Amino acid sequence: MSHTLLRRAALPYYIGLSRSLAPKGAGIDPPLQGVKILDLTRVLAGPTATMLLADLGADVIKVEEVSRGDDTRSWYPPAAPLSPTSPEEAAHLPPESAYFLAVNRNKRSITINFKDPEGLAIVHKLVQQSDVLVENFVSGKLAEMGLGWEDCERINPRLIYASITGYGQSGPYRKAAGYDVIVEAEAGLMHITGEPDGPPCKVGVAATDIATGLYAHGAVMAGLLSRARTGKGVWIDCNLFESQLAGLANIASNYLIAGQEGGRHGTSHPSIVPYQVFPCKDGFIMIGAGNDKQFKLFAEKILERPDLPTDPKFNSNKARVANRQELISLINDALMKEGRDHWLAKLTGLGVPFGPINNIQQTFQHPQVEARKMITEVEVTVSPAVTYNGKRMPVNRPPPYLSQHTTEVLAELGYSDEEIAVLKAKKVV
């Protein structure tokens, strides 16, 4: 099936899940039901955060630019075909890129020109009625427009105001725009990604954006818990640079504790051997023997070398790291004798961590994806990643068409049909 049909077609991805294998429980009610979130974000980090909050039941109102919407709506191909309610409605709509569809489920879309005083008044009304505002403008930009933290706190003292930027609200880089690939480079991730003898390499997805969205989502939840105790709102400062710094994990600790500089190791691990991708006759396999017991099983059952676990060069992880090249060469020679499926069968159930290198099609055909229902047939999207008592939060809305809910949201704010028609004619909304 064509990838461009994924959003509008109902694909048969569900499979039966045995009742005896299904986790027990009735799930939980969406915990953010009744929470209203004003979403002034675009691209990836901010929309990821607000989508995760929408998945938990929040009413997320995504405010977009009037004619183009979120920047990522135009990041195609591929794009999904449009099927709005009328040809007239379709005439002004941009194509819906796969990029946009990935992080905007469960939201409502309203378009507002808040540089116009009437548009700004609409946003102020939304601020007054919202529990949370999430924005990812350059530091200080919304304050210039009357939508900064101080402006919004005066309107709604209970507001949780989350700012997502490239480098934070202070410091010499606070005015710099945030781009995932730039921060990957500047905050160390690109330096440690790639083959040892190759150039720095970016991660295959915008990992820094996604991590920042996850941090922001958690911070908003913390803000809501704090408000429940204090009755007061809070300004959250979340940014790509610090999220990536925090994401350096053990590589950061290696440097801060021991002065050890990070480097590129391809798929291998600087501190564990064997722990990397290995070639076989017709493909690749990731194998990670993270302790002596796992290495013993691997050596005896896969390599058929029971002598290796007692060899002083390989009898401990420290020794295996010191003699990395010799051991890796030995493993490569052994695995190249057979194809991928042969080794996958032999490794299954052995107790040694392993996995095939799957392409994206193989990933979505994975038995675990099917068994855990990780694809939802609401215009086809990836499901939320977490279950509660064995059940996921529902996906009630597909990613919205541009301005799909403008009339609906304005009516909720008290605007009459005539007033809405005038605002639309003036291109305020």
Catalytic amino acids? 209
Is the separation of the CB atoms in 69 and 112 below 8 Å? no
Distance CA 136, CA 138 (A): 7
Q: How far apart are CA 5 and CA 175, in angstroms?
A: 40
Using alpha carbons, list the distances in angstroms from residue 181 to 44, 60, 247, 253, 365.
12, 28, 15, 23, 29
DSSP bridge partners of 80: 96
Choose among 199, 129, 134, 188: nearest CA to 160: 134
Residue 64 CB partners (closer than 8 Å, separation 6+)? 42, 70, 109, 110, 111, 112, 402, 403
Q: Which DSSP string do the residues of 286-315 spell out, in sequence order?
A: EEE--SHHHHHHIIIIIS--TTGGGSTTTS
Q: By CB neighbour count within 10 A (0-12 exposed, 13-18 middle, 19+ buried), where does 314 fall?
A: buried
Query: Which tokens belong to 250?
Result: 């053990």
190 in Cβ contact with 184 (< 8 Å): yes
